[in-house]
Amino acid sequence: MYQLYLSSFLFPVAPEKLTLKIDNRNETVELIGDGVVSILKQPGLTKVTFSTLLPNVRYPFAAYESDFQPASWYLTALEQIKLSAKPVAFRLLRTASGLSWQTSDTTLRVSLEEYTINEDAAQYGGDVMVDVTLLQYRAWATKTLEITKTASGGASAAITTPRDTSGRETPQSYTVQAGDNLWNLAKKYLGDGSKSDQLYESNRETIEQAARQNDRASSSNGWWIYPGTVLKLPEGS
C-alpha cells in the first residue's frame, strides 16, 4: 500500500504502479591492445514516473489529509509547483497490507518535469487521470575562476575557494516556522537534506507530541511539523 506526497499534499488515490529510474553515468572505454574497461561514476539523477486518479467525487478507497478536494484543486497545486520553478519534497510511504506501521519510505527533493492531464468519460467518468514525471533535484553552486597576470607576462588561473565558515556560531536549536520541512532544515543546519531522518530521531518525542496536539495520529516520521515547535539541532551541525 502506498501514500504519495508531493510538496505538502497527499494524492487521494495511490498509483497502481510507480517507477524510480536511477540514471547510469558509467562509461566504457576501449583500450588499445587491452580490450574494453569500465569507468565507474556516481549515479545520475533519479526519475520518478507515475499515473494517479484525481476523483471529482468522494470514493471510499480515496484518502484525504483534511477534507475532500476535487480534481481541480490538485491540478491547481501541480500548476503552482510548475510555475514556481522551485524544487519540492516528494515522499512515498509504503506499508504492508493489513498492517498499520510503515515498512519503508522514499524521500527525494524533486522538480516537476511534466504532467499530462487525461480526461476520458468512457474510462474515468467525471474523474481525471494525471501522468506525472519528477526528476531528483541536487543543489549546485557556481565557482569563480580568477585569472592573474604573472610578472613574465603570462597568466595563472585559480578557482576561488568557499568562504571559511568554521568560526561561525552554530545554533543549538531552531523554532519551526510556517512552510518549514525537515529536509530543508537538515540541508541548512546539517549540510545535507538526506540527514532529515537524523534530525527527526533527535526530536522524535517533540515532533510526535506536536502532531498529536494538531489532531494527527503521528507525524509520519517527521513529514508533518508545526510552527512553534522547538527542534534540538544535533551536535556537529
Grid cell in block for residue 153: 607576462
Q: Is 30 exposed, middle or buried (0-12, 13-18, 19+ CB in 10 A)?
A: exposed
**What pLDDT, on the 0 to 100 scale, is given for residue 235?**
65
Per the prediction, the chain carries an average pLDDT of 85
CA atoms in the 13 A half-sphere facing the CB of 23:
10
Q: Which domains does the chain have, with CATH numbers?
A: 1-27+37-138 (2.30.110), 167-237 (3.10.350.10)
pTM score > 0.85 for this model? no
Residue 110 has pLDDT above 70, yes or no: yes
Pick from 131, 137, 127: nearest CA to 18? 131
**Tens of pLDDT along 45-70?**
999 999 999 999 999 999 987 789 99
**What pLDDT, on the 0 to 100 scale, is given for residue 140?**
73
- With contact defined as beta carbons under 8 Å apart, do 45 and 111 qualify? no
Grid cell in block for residue 101: 506501521
**Tens of pLDDT along 172-220?**
888 998 888 888 888 888 888 778 888 998 999 999 999 999 888 888 8
3-state secondary structure of 65: coil
Q: How sure is the predictor about 80, in pLDDT bands with cuts at 50, 70 and 90?
A: very high
- With contact defined as beta carbons under 8 Å apart, do 59 and 127 qualify? no
Neighbours of 92 (CB within 10 A): 20
**Tens of pLDDT along 142-161?**
667 677 777 777 777 676 65
Average pLDDT over residues 223-228: 90
CA distance 194 to 108: 8
Residue 166 has pLDDT above 60, yes or no: no
